[in-house]
């Protein structure tokens, strides 16, 4: 029995130990074990495929496999056999990577991780079974330019253009800074180093991970997951975070030329390693709804790790806007809409709004208030809230009272736009997460919560008059 078969057997024997009530409704999770980065997000043979970093044997990071699932609506997922497993064909753990589709060929490229180096390997499959095209790595440490050792050389992003395969890979240079290297190949077997697509000038953390590079509208976007970032006002925050650059790609010099400084893609506590997918005229993105710096998993849990609900992303000027993918609408039920006016220091609760698994859309018009607070997953003991300061034009998200049992980052404040007293909020709440989209997704905050499921109220409080229209769609 090889490692793929062993992982699948363990999964079959243990998945029934977890009840559906103990996992999210519409955010993807592993059926058992640990999951981190999304991998190989792609549209193949009429369905969306999602691979992911996977340790089936524990709820902690461990021997990295590629788990695999497919879906048509991002809610109902069919779990498929493990796609890649450590040591089965080429020695090493199977770290993150991406996929491309060519007819009936589904090609995966991923990092082969050993203790002393990382290299890139290629596997090809039919949507269920995948096999490496060689018994050795395709992009080797010997292909690296001077100044790079093969330590922290990972997370390939592949695409094809004019019959040539291109691949960018993150690498740490001899100054300890992240660099995006570009390689090319005609056959997926032999790869040639082309040059540096883009490099860290020291302003954006240290090591860069999980690069994504794609066209959005008429511009190119480079998305990077940053390690050891330092906070700067409310633009960036400390630790792991995701930033993006918008610019142009000079195909002759193979250089990415940004028009903007790095911008934060998601301001929440739990968002990392996003991957994009272009399909059906849209660019979609999914990310790991988790953070390396905070272990919040409750004792006794049998799974760890969830994904954001996929988002459609567009470029508005030089800013990325993100909103939930339209597929979610097919799972709506129990629609409820209402309008009301909050008065000064009035606490407002509408029982028909209460839910722990729903999408809420708010249109807010300020009359004479300075602050508005909306509480989610609330009862008399617990809540998570967003507080809007109308005068200062800020939003603060807090999960301080969301039943956390460990010390963790629990509040974050960002600058927002409020034009003529108006703003919009779209909020996705699931059993163990909350995603807040501000002003049609110009800013997003994504975070885990572990509040008891019977805390399901939506409460409102303002220090002046505010008009609110809200629509709730529960999700089944």
Q: Which domains does the chain have, with CATH numbers?
A: 3-318 (2.115.10.20), 328-475 (2.60.120.560)
Distance, in Å, from the CA atom of 78 to the CA atom of 82, rounded to the nearest integer, reads 12
Closest CA to 81 of 128, 34, 41: 128
8 or 341: whose pLDDT is higher?
Answer: 341
Would you call 12 helix, strand, or coil by DSSP? helix
Q: For 183-242, how does the pLDDT look when each residue is reduced to its tens digit (9 = 90+)? A: 999 999 999 999 999 999 999 999 999 999 999 999 999 999 999 988 888 888 888 999
The helix or strand, by DSSP H or E, that contains position 169, with its residue range, turns out to be strand 164-172
Contact 312, 329 (CB under 8 A): no
Q: What is the DSSP string of 220-237?
A: EEEEEEEEEE--BTTTB-
Q: How far is CA 351 from CA 19, 336, 401, 403, in A?
A: 28, 11, 21, 22
Q: What average pLDDT does this structure show over 40-66?
A: 96
Write down the pLDDT at residue 365. 97
- Sheet-wide strand order for 433-438: 332-342, 466-475, 358-366, 422-430, 433-438, 443-448
Q: For 255-304, how does the pLDDT look when each residue is reduced to its tens digit (9 = 90+)? A: 999 998 999 999 999 999 999 999 989 999 999 999 998 888 888 888 99
Residue 405: Cβ within 10 Å count: 9
Q: How far is CA 256 from CA 61, 213, 223, 269, 443, in A?
A: 33, 10, 12, 29, 24
Please give the share of the chain, as a percent, with pLDDT higher than 70: 100
Q: Which residues pair with 235 in a beta bridge?
A: none
Write down the pLDDT at residue 72. 92
**Residue 380 buriedness (CB in 10 A; 0-12 / 13-18 / 19+):** exposed
Write down the pLDDT at residue 294. 85
Closest CA to 313 of 326, 332, 298: 326
Catalytic status, residue 58: no
- Gyration radius (Cα) of the chain, Å: 22
Closest CA to 124 of 93, 151, 89, 166: 89
Q: For 5-37, how does the pLDDT look when each residue is reduced to its tens digit (9 = 90+)? A: 899 898 888 877 788 888 999 999 998 999 999
CA atoms within 13 A on the CB side of 355: 23
Distance, in Å, from the CA atom of 328 to the CA atom of 26, rounded to the nearest integer, reads 9
Write down the pLDDT at residue 286. 98
Distance, in Å, from the CA atom of 258 to the CA atom of 246, rounded to the nearest integer, reads 5
Closest CA to 280 of 20, 74, 95: 74
Write down the pLDDT at residue 356. 96
Q: For 384-437, how does the pLDDT look when each residue is reduced to its tens digit (9 = 90+)? A: 999 999 999 999 999 999 998 777 788 999 999 999 999 999 999 999 999 999
Query: In the predicted model, is pLDDT for residue 68 greater than 70?
Result: yes
User: b/e for 339-371, b at 16 or more Cβ within 10 A?
Assistant: eeebeeeeebeeeebbbbbbbbebebebeebeb
Distance, in Å, from the CA atom of 171 to the CA atom of 210, rounded to the nearest integer, reads 10
Distance, in Å, from the CA atom of 383 to the CA atom of 399, rounded to the nearest integer, reads 7
Q: For 354-378, how does the pLDDT look when each residue is reduced to its tens digit (9 = 90+)? A: 999 999 999 999 999 999 999 999 9
Which pTM does this prediction carry? 0.96
Marked catalytic residue, from 37, 152, 212, 266: 37
Write down the pLDDT at residue 298. 83
Query: In the predicted model, is pLDDT for residue 88 greater than 70?
Result: no
């Amino acid at each position: 029995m090889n490692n793929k078969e062993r992982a699948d057997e363990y999964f079959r024997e243990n998945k029934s130990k977890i009840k559906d009530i103990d996992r999210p409704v519409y955010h993807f999770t592993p059926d058992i074990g640990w999951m981190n980065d999304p991998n190989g997000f792609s549209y193949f043979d009429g369905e969306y495929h999602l691979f992911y970093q996977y340790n089936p044997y524990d709820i902690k990071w461990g021997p990295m496999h590629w788990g695999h699932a497919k879906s048509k609506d991002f809610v109902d997922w069919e779990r498929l056999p493990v796609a890649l497993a450590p040591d089965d064909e080429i020695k090493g753990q199977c770290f993150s990577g991406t996929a491309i589709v060519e007819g009936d060929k589904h090609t995966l490229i991923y990092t082969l991780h050993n203790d002393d180096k990382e290299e890139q390997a290629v596997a090809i499959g039919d949507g269920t079974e995948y096999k490496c095209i060689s018994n050795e790595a395709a992009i080797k440490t010997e292909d690296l330019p001077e100044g790079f050792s093969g330590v922290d050389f990972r997370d390939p992003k592949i695409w094809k253009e004019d019959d040539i395969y291109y691949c960018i890979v993150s690498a740490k240079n001899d100054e300890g800074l992240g660099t995006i290297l570009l390689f090319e190949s005609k056959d997926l077997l032999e790869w040639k180093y082309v040059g540096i697509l883009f490099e860290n000038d020291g302003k954006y953390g240290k090591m860069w991970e999980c690069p994504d590079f794609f066209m959005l509208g008429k511009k190119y976007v480079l998305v990077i997951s940053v390690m050891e970032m330092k906070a700067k006002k409310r633009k960036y925050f400390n630790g792991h975070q995701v930033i993006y650059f918008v610019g142009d790609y000079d195909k002759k010099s193979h250089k990415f030329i940004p028009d903007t400084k790095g911008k934060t893609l998601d301001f929440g506590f739990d968002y990392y390693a996003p991957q994009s997918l272009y399909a059906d005229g849209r660019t979609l993105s999914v990310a790991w709804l988790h953070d390396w710096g905070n272990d919040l998993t409750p004792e006794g849990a049998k799974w760890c790790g969830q994904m954001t609900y996929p988002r459609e992303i567009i470029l508005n000027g030089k800013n990325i806007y993100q909103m939930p993918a339209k597929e979610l609408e097919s799972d709506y039920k129990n629609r409820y809409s209402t309008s009301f006016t909050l008065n000064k220091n009035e606490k407002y609760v509408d029982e028909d709004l209460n839910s722990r698994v729903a999408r809420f859309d708010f249109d807010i018009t300020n009359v004479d208030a300075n602050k508005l607070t909306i509480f989610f997953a609330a009862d008399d003991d617990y809540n998570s809230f967003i507080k809007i300061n109308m005068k200062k034009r800020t939003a603060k998200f807090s999960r301080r009272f969301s039943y956390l049992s460990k010390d963790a980052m629990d509040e974050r404040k960002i600058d927002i736009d409020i034009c003529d007293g108006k703003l919009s909020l779209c909020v996705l709440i699931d059993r163990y997460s909350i995603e807040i989209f501000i002003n049609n997704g110009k800013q997003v905050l994504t975070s885990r919560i572990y509040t008891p499921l019977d805390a399901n109220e939506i409460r409102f409080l303002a220090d002046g008059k505010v008009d609110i229209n809200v629509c709730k769609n529960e999700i089944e």
